[in-house]
Structure 1
Amino acid sequence: MKSVTRSLRILEAVAQHQPVTVGELTKIFELPKSTVQRTLVTLNEAGWLRANRRDTTRWEIGARVLAVRPAALQGSSLFAAAHESMFRLRDALNETIHLSVPDALHGMVVVDRVDCDHAVRTFHAIGDTSPLHATATGHAVLAHLPKSEVDEFTAGTLEGYGEETITDPAELRAELQRVRDRGYAVNHNQYLPGVCAIAAPVLDGGGAPLAAVAVSLPDSRFDPDRLAELGRLVTRTAADITARHAG
């Protein structure tokens, strides 16, 4: 049991300090480097941790944690509040609807999905992750974070996924202001080629973003003339979820 407790404490420390080195964890826990390294390797093999893509000497939370979180959320009040509203939005538009939650400033995680019946449609697996700066759900959340958190986020590298990805911090901040002004965010091929989405935030009582609901559709069915209509429906759905979750 002692080794299990130690593994959980190290997992928590990685989540708090990621990406973190073996040496940094050794100082935190005052444990032998070999013990920490062995625990990290075990957690990596189980999928709970992974080496950072840019610096393999640093460790970060793995896909297993991101997959377990959505499963836990399915029993939460947020999931219950959203599900019926998502079905209504799907029935109104016959496009894929998904609900995503922020993983701090690391990205968005899909926690629920309602599929349409088109033969050609977008697909987002439960537990899928995506970047904040290149997606509609990410923009919907970023637009409602405190300025200090947005500044922290934009101080890092904004990776480009295609020609439409916003990688300039000033341009991203301007786009977030547009999201606040109109109430919804738009992703037109910014992350995945041929995939578009319109998203709006689900907020808590203090106005902080808990999640974002989005309609996702292939670029071939994206009609700019319908953008205002789609935005209005998605925004209304997000407001319904917010009210249900609060009440």
Structure 2
Amino acid sequence: MTRMTKGNYSETFDKGLKLLDLYCGEESAFTLAEISRRLDVNKTSVYRLVNTLCEHGYLQKDPKTKAYYLGIRTIPLAHSFLQKANIVTRIKPYVDEVHKEFDLHIDVGLIQNNSIYLVYRRESKDTLAFLHFTAAGDLYNLATGKAAMAFMEEEQLAQFLQHSESKHGKTRAALNPETLKKELTQTRQRGYSLNEELFLPGLIAIGAPIFNLHTMTVLGGISFDSSTSRYSMAQFEKAYSSVLVELAKKISAAISTEE
């Protein structure tokens, strides 16, 4: 992204958006001190930002813990995107068709700023008890993210890994360079990723990458999820990997269609 000139760029608004971006991860609440530390912004400025966001309903303060949560005003904003966004209207028919035929849990996620964000989901009966992702920075824990990582350009992958290591303070076991390299190579060879109870116990998934077909850059991934009470990993892979890869191709084509 090209940085705008100072005259066309609001630094205050930028800080406010970065503040809201904190809530796109796994954590749901932050104190004033935590926000100040994570944004590297003084508490006085943060105080003004959170008060403004609270006034407009985008944040709310817990009177007991003094922590700030997302406010109710974010709900219609999220619903509006998920129901009306151009990208959703393009992929929805293809996902819905497969969901109707196979009763599969299907997630479609797109990558932005070193994280993957859920843009469309269809749930199945056997996965309703699981807590699924809406946004995640640990791409390697998700079938969608792992599939995308396998097809990233080297520079993009290195940037993501550097960001992840910086975020968590140290490289996790799942990111052992040799182990990760081997797994991503296997994913590229298969054309899809496998995730056996890595994100949650009892949850298995297969994921395939989604591309911009004009530039052949990876945009995100799509996954089929199921429970171990319904399938073993091998059974799930055998039954649905070809269906998944075909659906990923259709979604890539739909997303890449010119206006």
TM-score by length of 1: 0.71
CA distance in 1, matches of 2:130, 2:89: 21
Partner of 1:128: 134
What is the Cα deviation at residue 13 of structure 1? 5.6
1:221 is aligned with what amino acid? R
Partner of 2:241: 231
CA distance in 2, matches of 1:207, 1:190: 28
Partner of 1:216: 225
TM-score by length of 2: 0.68
Moved more, 84-93 or 5-14: 5-14
Partner of 2:253: 243
Partner of 1:55: none
Aligned residues: 214
What is the Cα deviation at residue 147 of structure 1? 0.8
Measured on the aligned residues, the alpha-carbon RMSD in Å equals 3.5
CA distance in 1, matches of 2:70, 2:176: 28
Q: Does 1:154 align with 2:173?
A: no
SS at match of 1:190: coil
CA distance in 1, matches of 2:84, 2:130: 22
What is the Cα deviation at residue 210 of structure 1? 2.3
Q: Deviations over 1:2-59 (max 9, x none)?
A: xxx775232246669x943015xxxxxxxxx73x13234336755569xxxxxxxxxx
Partner of 1:22: 41
Q: Does 1:89 align with 2:108?
A: no
Counting only pairs closer than 5 Å after superposition, residues 152-231 of structure 1 correspond to structure 2 as 152-155=159-162, 156-157=164-165, 166-204=174-212, 205-223=214-232, 224-231=234-241
CA distance in 2, matches of 1:48, 1:7: 17
Give unmatched runs, 5+ long, in structure 2.
Answer: 1-9, 23-36, 61-68
Give unmatched runs, 5+ long, in structure 1.
Answer: 24-32, 50-61, 160-164
What is the Cα deviation at residue 169 of structure 1? 3.0
Q: Percent identity?
A: 18
SS at match of 2:174: coil
Of 39, 42, 46, 2:48 maps to 39
Distance 1:38 1:72, change over 3 A: same
Whether the aligned pair in 1 keeps the contact of 2:50 and 2:59 (CA below 8 Å) is: no
Whether the aligned pair in 2 keeps the contact of 1:201 and 1:212 (CA below 8 Å) is: yes
1:109 is aligned with what amino acid? Y
